[in-house]
Amino acid sequence: MFAIVTHRWLPFAAAVLLAACAAHSPPDAMGKMDKMDKTKAPTLYERLGGQPAIDAVVDDFVANVAADQRINRFFANSNIPRLKRLLSEQICAAAAGPCTYTGRDMKTTHAGMGITERHFNALVEDLVKSLDKYKVPQKEQQELLGLLGPMKPDIVTR
């Protein structure tokens, strides 16, 4: 008889225990759970691998541009470390990462350079080469190019 009563009350006791545990979870533990929220879709920045991965792609990309006879003359007088920093910032910010782009706007930057569609496509090709080299999946490549593409009218002026 005693055993039957105990079993009947077990689910209720378990529920009370669970509720009590949840109520007593320390606030910082709840905070950590929130940060690890598996229901939130990772940003493009996260899927690209964060800042170290973006910096590596930008490094390789700028090296491709420097070796690319179709467009390297445009960069002959450029401050390359500054350009790399600004490109990394720009990609990070566009991909919803924790960065603020501190460079000039695309129209002002490229004004008077006489950049054509061919030049633009050559640069995109150099970027895709680096994305492929670092095995960035097609989905993420397309998303990134989709964010940079709309800048084209401000860059291509000839």
- φ, ψ of residue 137 to 5 degrees: the values are -60, 155
Q: Which of 63, 75, 134, 141 binds ligand HEM (CB under 6 A)?
A: 75
Q: Which of 64, 119, 126, 131 binds ligand HEM (CB under 6 A)?
A: 119
Structure tokens at 152: 């084209």
Q: Which of 53, 56, 66, 86 binds ligand HEM (CB under 6 A)?
A: 86
CB of 66 to ligand HEM, least distance (A): 11
Give the C-alpha separation, 23 to 110, whole Å. Answer: 58
Residues in contact with 140: Cβ distance below 8 Å, sequence separation at least 6, in sequence order: 44, 47, 48, 131
Residues contributing to the site for ligand HEM (CB under 6 A): 71, 74-75, 78-79, 83, 86-87, 90, 103-104, 109-110, 115, 119-120, 123, 148, 151, 155
